Chain A
Amino acid sequence: MTLIGMLLVQALTSFIATCAFGIIYNIPKKPLIHGGFIGLVSWIIYFLIYQWNGNDFAATFFAAFVIAVMSHIFARLCKNPVIIYSVSGIIPLVPGGLTYTVMNRAVGDQYSLALHLGEKAFVLSGAIAMGLIFAEVLYPLTKGVMQTLLPSEDRKSNVKQVFFHK
């Protein structure tokens, strides 16, 4: 019961927080709601993995991967740029609190602790970026596979655009 209640609170708050960030970033209304949904799903995934094995690197990586995949799908469906979906979903994962702690320690003369936490913040943002890039590399690949599997008449040349954005 408490776990379910906790999950409900987490889901609701992550949805509201992600949508609120969308408002600050001036995202139009419909992508705003989609972004909130992406933020909700990814935060629940993050929360569960983090509660399950306590490794925030893995949790961040998987959540970022899910964000990127869902953003690509929404972007394809609604014909909008990917970033307006992914950006507000990333916000809860971003080590903002950690960055604040780093700066607080650094200004408070605890340099070794600041350096230690700073490295951790850097690695965590690296995990987010890795998750995003992983999905970006894999997404065109799956598209190519889908095109070869489906007997569609126009297998155009876009199978060859495999890497990143090129």
Chain B
Amino acid sequence: MNGFHKTDEKSRTQSPFVHEVAALCVLAGKILLQNGAETFRVEDTMNRIARNFSIENAQSFVTPTGIIFSIENTDITKLVRISSRGTDFRKVTQVNSLSRQVAEGALGINEAYRQLKMIDSSTKTYAPWLQVLAAASASSCFLLMFLGKWQDLFPAFIAGGAGQAAAMYFHRLTKVKFFSEFISSIFVGLIALYSVKIGWGIDLNKIIIGAVMPLVPGVPITNAVRDLMAGDLVSGLSKFAESVLTAFAIGIGITFALALR
């Protein structure tokens, strides 16, 4: 042996290319997980990007709080801690289409990494007033869908909008999700209570249920059960725990408000 084989092996497993691919995969997974994609989609996208750069033996393990990514036969194992999670499906869509472009071979690795960085740092959302208006109209629509009375439409509109505005404001202020949900559900409860008291609304329970819908963790619970069924046990259980805590925060907030009557 003259050592050629050895250098060849070394260059294959430790070449900068493999590291770049790993960095690209982990960044894509991080953006997806932080913005509300499902667990299996995160794992799938990461493995798929690696495969498109002809790295066949990549493994990924994703939980809601972190990503472990490793490529077999190399010295690459990456761990990423995810501390904040939100819901921003624009970024999920963008990463998805980028992964498609990579699969078609339309994007080189450097260009893909640059675009991912741009997606990660972009803050393009709908305007805050539009989000509040959306929550308000969703609340009043839910009231009608749950066969509430037409007279309760306006209180539900106000309460839902105020709840969403409070949730957004306090989330920006404190960064503690449960606290902002607690405060905003107090707002919802108080507005519903006083609107019934002064005679604008009729059915207190229907108003509260409609107005609390934008806050209630319905989708996380469904995603949790779905993750459990699909075999992602760890992320299913932890999502379940998170959504139960959120539901507690809302329930306690509403009851707190109702106790003030």
Q: Which residues of A contact B44 (CB under 8 A)?
A: 165
Q: Which residues of A contact B15 (CB under 8 A)?
A: none
CB contacts under 8 Å to B, within A51-93, are: 79-81, 83-84, 87, 90-92
* CA gap between A83 and B219 in the complex, in Å: 11
B44, B96, B217, B254: which has the most chain A beta carbons within 10 Å?
Answer: B96
* Residue in B40, B93, B226 whose CB lies within 8 Å of A84: B93
Indicate whether B260 reaches chain A with its CB closer than 8 angstroms: no
Residue-wise, chain A 94-110 has the 8 Å CB interface mask toward B (1 for contact) of 11110111111011100
Indicate whether A9 reaches chain B with its CB closer than 8 angstroms: yes
- B127 and chain A: residue at smallest CB distance: A23
Residue-wise, chain B 206-242 has the 8 Å CB interface mask toward A (1 for contact) of 0011001110111101100110111100000000000
Assuming the A-B contacts A28-B93, A107-B255, are A20 and B138 also in contact, with contact meaning beta carbons closer than 8 angstroms in the complex?
yes
Least CB distance, B216 to chain A, in whole angstroms: 4
Indicate whether B109 reaches chain A with its CB closer than 8 angstroms: no
| A83 lies within 8 A of B92 (CB) | yes
* CA gap between A130 and B55 in the complex, in Å: 35
Indicate whether B126 reaches chain A with its CB closer than 8 angstroms: yes
* CA gap between A129 and B226 in the complex, in Å: 5
Indicate whether B107 reaches chain A with its CB closer than 8 angstroms: no
| B254 lies within 8 A of A100 (CB) | yes
Indicate whether A111 reaches chain B with its CB closer than 8 angstroms: no
* Residue in B36, B130, B222, B226 whose CB lies within 8 Å of A94: B222
Assuming the A-B contacts A16-B137, A28-B93, A100-B254, are A23 and B221 also in contact, with contact meaning beta carbons closer than 8 angstroms in the complex?
no
Least CB distance, A106 to chain B, in whole angstroms: 7
Assuming the A-B contacts A25-B87, A84-B92, A104-B254, are A94 and B141 also in contact, with contact meaning beta carbons closer than 8 angstroms in the complex?
no
| A9 lies within 8 A of B144 (CB) | yes
Give the secondary structure class of B's interface. helix
- B43 and chain A: residue at smallest CB distance: A165
Indicate whether A17 reaches chain B with its CB closer than 8 angstroms: yes
* CA gap between A94 and B209 in the complex, in Å: 12
Assuming the A-B contacts A16-B137, A81-B96, A96-B213, are A133 and B88 also in contact, with contact meaning beta carbons closer than 8 angstroms in the complex?
no
* CA gap between A106 and B138 in the complex, in Å: 27
Q: Which residues of A contact B97 (CB under 8 A)?
A: 79-80
28 contacts between A and B (CB under 8 A): A13-B142, A17-B141, A21-B214, A24-B131, A24-B134, A26-B89, A27-B89, A27-B90, A31-B89, A43-B145, A83-B36, A83-B89, A90-B218, A90-B222, A91-B218, A92-B145, A94-B216, A94-B222, A95-B218, A100-B209, A103-B248, A103-B250, A121-B221, A128-B225, A133-B229, A164-B230, A164-B231, A165-B41
Residues of chain B touching chain A, judged by Cβ–Cβ distance below 8 Å, are 36-38, 40-41, 44, 87-90, 92-93, 96-97, 100, 125-126, 130-131, 134-135, 137-138, 141-142, 144-146, 164, 205, 208-209, 212-214, 216-219, 221-222, 225-226, 228-231, 247-248, 250-252, 254-255
Residues of chain A touching chain B, judged by Cβ–Cβ distance below 8 Å, are 9-10, 13-14, 16-17, 19-21, 23-28, 31, 43, 79-81, 83-84, 87, 90-92, 94-97, 99-104, 106-108, 121, 125-126, 128-130, 132-133, 164-165
